[in-house]
């Protein structure tokens, strides 16, 4: 029987890039079983921290040398602007380097256990872990999960998005060349409803880490919970950007434009709700619209380094954005609001070949509207104004999501107050979408559970193991540990 093949399409041109073979249920089962056998054999799980660190460092160096190549792959399969992918991928080796360094510095500890006992606590791997990764940052999000999972000693199964699997497949091959043993890092392409479900349903999988829509997180989380495996989920977002009267206007406009339109708005921390204090409302909106229209004028071929913004990932996603914007029951369209079908003034690129949508700004939609409450996952931002600081915070929190948020102010005290009051796992002040391997990343409310990055991620891919050793002399042990000796006095320490 011929294997099922998934076409991978360049969303900017509609052209086929390649096909990838979808993993069958038999492939999934066999790959997980082999990963478990390799885990039990200990070639990676029992390897020294020093050895795993050396391999991760070697892999970081190999990735660094291939950043230009991977940036082109990412642009071809996602339609994102090459300028974005070069900047993003240039930092990816840092995640591998960070966890390589943690392996050499993260130490076991000895708790102060009572009695003549030595209790040392180590971190040990979980076993086979599964990672479900999305299309919007294919290699970034995969490596954010792969690096701590490998560092902890697990066998890792990755299911990349069927829309953008190429770079993850290439990375896995490179990992083998760097010294990651066979069966320790495996990639299983396929659709989420079939391959993804098969992977997370396997009882040999001891942890699942996903980045996906909230509905997907709920569906997979119920399966993972039934298997008593651990679960990390980075889910939807609807990030507020709260701009106060005292903010530097130009910086805030530039920062908000980046927050709203990087990756064509296809990020979970995209600044989709722009909240402007009354005193600068008109001035801010005027400058912001000019900035947005400048972005639109300079859109072109995503492979052109001068192009400002790329395409939407697929015609289906584009159609959803068009429907949400055109069917809105409230809100005034200030700019955008349509698919791009013309020729780019930047480089004569034909937008009609791909899935392009103009950067869009909508003023004052209702708080219960789909535009305000739901993730559009496109270059669409809604704008509202507020009076007091308390009103700004209330608007920022008037949403079921709580992943990212931005605050723009020159008042240091206000910055800390508002950052604390906003219900989000990530709050940026006078900037947006800053990311670092050392900084925990994850959401509150319906934006997910658990954290990526930092020591938290390494520990989430491992578990503690206590070893308790009696260090008393044999004579003392005979005297104190004979629980059933003649007499009534209990002699044990605990």
Please give the positions annotated as active site.
Answer: 234
Name residues whose C-beta falls within 8 Å of residue 300's C-beta, 6 or more positions apart in sequence. 306, 307, 344, 346, 347, 349
Which letter, b or e, does each residue of 62-92 get, where b requires 16 or more Cβ atoms within 10 Å of its Cβ? Answer: bbeeebeebbbbbbbbbbbbbbbbbebbeeb
Decide: 378 and 312 in contact? Cβ < 8 Å.
yes
Beta strand 404-408 with 426-429: parallel, antiparallel or unpaired?
parallel
**Rounded CA gap, 13 and 22, in Å?**
23
Give CA separation, 98 vs 105, 207, 455, in Å.
Answer: 11, 22, 10
**Rounded CA gap, 200 and 57, in Å?**
29
Dihedral (CA of 342, 345, 346, 348) sign:
positive
**Rounded CA gap, 443 and 434, in Å?**
15
Angle between helices 166-178 and 49-65 (to 10 degrees): 130
DSSP 3-state assignment of 386? Answer: strand
Name residues whose C-beta falls within 8 Å of residue 114's C-beta, 6 or more positions apart in sequence. 493, 494
Dihedral (CA of 413, 415, 421, 427) sign:
negative
């Amino acid at each position: 029987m011929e294997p099922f093949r998934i076409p991978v399409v360049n969303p900017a041109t509609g052209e086929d890039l390649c096909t990838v073979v979808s993993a069958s249920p038999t492939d999934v089962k066999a790959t997980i079983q082999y990963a478990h056998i390799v885990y039990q054999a200990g070639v990676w799980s029992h390897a020294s921290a020093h050895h795993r660190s050396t391999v991760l460092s070697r892999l970081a160096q190999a990735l660094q040398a291939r950043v230009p190549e991977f940036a082109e792959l990412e642009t071809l399969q996602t339609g994102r602007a090459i300028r974005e992918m070069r900047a993003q991928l240039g930092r990816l080796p840092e995640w591998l380097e960070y966890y390589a360094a943690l392996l050499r510095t993260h130490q076991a500890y000895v708790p102060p256990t009572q009695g003549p006992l030595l209790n040392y606590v180590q971190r040990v791997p979980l076993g086979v872990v599964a990672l479900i990764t999305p299309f919007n940052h294919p290699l970034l999000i995969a490596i954010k999960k792969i690096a701590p999972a490998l560092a902890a000693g697990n066998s890792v199964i990755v299911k990349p998005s069927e829309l953008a699997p190429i770079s993850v497949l290439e990375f896995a091959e490179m990992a083998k060349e760097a010294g990651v043993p066979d069966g320790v890092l495996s990639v299983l392409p396929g659709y989420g409803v079939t391959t993804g479900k098969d992977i997370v349903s396997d009882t040999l999988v001891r942890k699942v880490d996903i980045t996906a829509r909230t509905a997907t997180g709920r569906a997979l989380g119920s399966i993972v919970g039934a298997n008593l495996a651990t679960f990390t989920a980075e889910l939807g977002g609807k990030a507020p950007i709260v701009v106060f009267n005292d903010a530097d206007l130009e910086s805030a406009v530039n920062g908000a434009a980046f927050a709203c339109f990087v990756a064509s708005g296809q990020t979970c921390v995209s600044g989709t709700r722009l909240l402007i204090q009354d005193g600068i409302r008109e001035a801010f909106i005027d400058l912001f619209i000019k900035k947005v229209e400048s972005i639109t004028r300079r859109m072109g071929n995503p492979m052109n380094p001068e192009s400002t913004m790329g395409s939407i990932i697929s015609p289906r996603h584009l159609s959803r954005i068009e429907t949400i914007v055109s069917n809105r029951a409230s809100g005034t369209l200030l700019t955008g609001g349509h698919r791009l079908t013309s020729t780019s003034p930047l480089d004569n690129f034909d937008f009609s070949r791909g899935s392009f949508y103009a950067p869009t700004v909508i003023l004052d939609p209702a708080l219960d509207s789909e535009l305000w409450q739901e993730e559009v996952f496109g270059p669409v931002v809604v704008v509202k104004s507020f009076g007091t600081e308390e009103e700004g915070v209330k608007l920022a929190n008037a949403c079921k999501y709580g992943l990212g948020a931005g605050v723009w102010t020159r008042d240091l005290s206000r910055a800390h107050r508002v950052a604390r009051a906003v219900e989000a796992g990530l709050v940026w002040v006078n900037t947006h979408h800053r990311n670092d391997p050392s900084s925990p990343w994850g959401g509150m409310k319906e934006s997910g559970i658990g954290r990526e990055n930092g020591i938290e991620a390494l520990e989430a891919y491992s578990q503690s193991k206590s070893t308790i050793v009696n260090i008393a002399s044999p004579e003392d042990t005979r005297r104190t540990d004979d629980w059933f000796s003649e007499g009534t006095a209990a002699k044990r320490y605990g």
